[in-house]
């Protein structure tokens, strides 16, 4: 089975100044990037370009709104596009707010070419890591979906730290039945060790941590 491909790089620019949009598009295309430009956040959202965006260059001072507010809107909606914010002037409070909200970089106009390329390179690194993590989680979710409800119960308890006997007592099963289920979970999840399975359960939020708090003391 082939690995799902990570989409090609695409940069998006939101700036209400047509001259700035044109200049950025020409510069970035000259450096080999696929670029789409928009005059407003609404146009960007309406275009359907969100899912395919690898990096968003976002002007703060927009005629139709505030770039920082749009950054927060994307964050609230769970849209994790790496963002480079652009401003006509350096403003420390704005910079702090932008970086706290997860902006990769904050650049001031006129934009230095080398600084822009460096910021984009950093943003693309973030995007590649984000997409790879998403693909890995999707793969884990597909494996987890193959487990039976009983196997999920066993996985939740085992990865919370319970021994086979404790799992058996909690689920009213025999020790051998728990061992069979545990082995099946390891195979289906392709876990190489218990530590590996615990990491998977953490990523899936599938550990029954409440059970561990009620383990009897030896």
pLDDT of residue 56: 95
pLDDT, tens digit, for every residue of 50-90? 888 899 999 998 887 788 899 999 988 888 899 999 988 76
pLDDT, tens digit, for every residue of 81-123? 999 999 887 676 777 777 777 788 889 888 999 999 999 999 9
pTM: 0.63
pLDDT of residue 8: 64
- Rounded distance, CA 212 to CA 123, Å? 40
- Rounded distance, CA 38 to CA 123, Å? 19
> What's the Cα-to-Cα distance from 152 to each of 4, 138, 202, rounded to whole Å?
26, 17, 13
Domain locations along the chain: 11-139, 146-212
Count other Cβ atoms within 10 Å, centred on residue 26: 10
pLDDT, tens digit, for every residue of 20-40? 999 999 999 999 999 999 999
Please give the CATH superfamily to which domain 11-139 belongs: Response regulator (3.40.50.2300)
Would you say residue 136 has pLDDT above 90? no
Is the peptide bond preceding residue 110 cis, with omega within 30 degrees of 0?
yes
CATH class label, 146-212: mainly alpha
Question: Higher confidence at residue 131 or residue 160?
Answer: 160
pLDDT-derived band of residue 150, with 50, 70 and 90 as boundaries? very high
- Rounded distance, CA 8 to CA 2, Å? 17
Positive or negative, the CA dihedral 47, 53, 57, 58 is: positive
pLDDT of residue 3: 42
pLDDT, tens digit, for every residue of 160-209? 999 999 999 999 999 999 999 999 999 999 998 898 899 889 888 888 87
Give me 210's structure tokens.
């409440």
């Amino acid at each position: 089975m082939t690995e799902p491909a990570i989409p090609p790089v695409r940069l998006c620019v939101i700036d209400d100044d047509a001259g700035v949009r044109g200049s950025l598009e020409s510069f970035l295309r000259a450096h080999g990037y696929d670029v789409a430009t928009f005059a407003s956040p609404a146009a960007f959202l309406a275009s359907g370009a969100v899912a395919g965006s690898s990096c968003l260059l976002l002007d703060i001072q927009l005629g139709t709104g505030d770039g920082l507010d749009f950054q927060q809107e994307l964050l609230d909606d769970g849209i994790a596009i790496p963002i480079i914010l652009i401003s006509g002037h350096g403003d420390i409070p704005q910079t702090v707010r932008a970086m706290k909200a997860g902006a990769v970089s904050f650049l001031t106009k006129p934009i230095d070419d080398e600084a822009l390329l460096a910021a984009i390179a950093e943003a693309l690194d973030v995007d590649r890591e984000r997409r790879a993590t998403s693909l890995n989680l999707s793969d884990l979710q597909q494996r987890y979906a193959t487990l039976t409800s009983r196997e999920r119960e066993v996985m939740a308890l085992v990865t919370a730290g319970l021994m086979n006997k404790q799992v058996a007592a909690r689920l009213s099963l025999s020790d051998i039945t728990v061992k069979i289920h545990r082995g099946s979970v390891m195979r289906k999840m392709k876990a190489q060790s218990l530590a590996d399975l615990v990491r998977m359960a953490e990523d899936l939020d599938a550990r029954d941590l409440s059970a561990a708090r009620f383990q009897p003391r030896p």
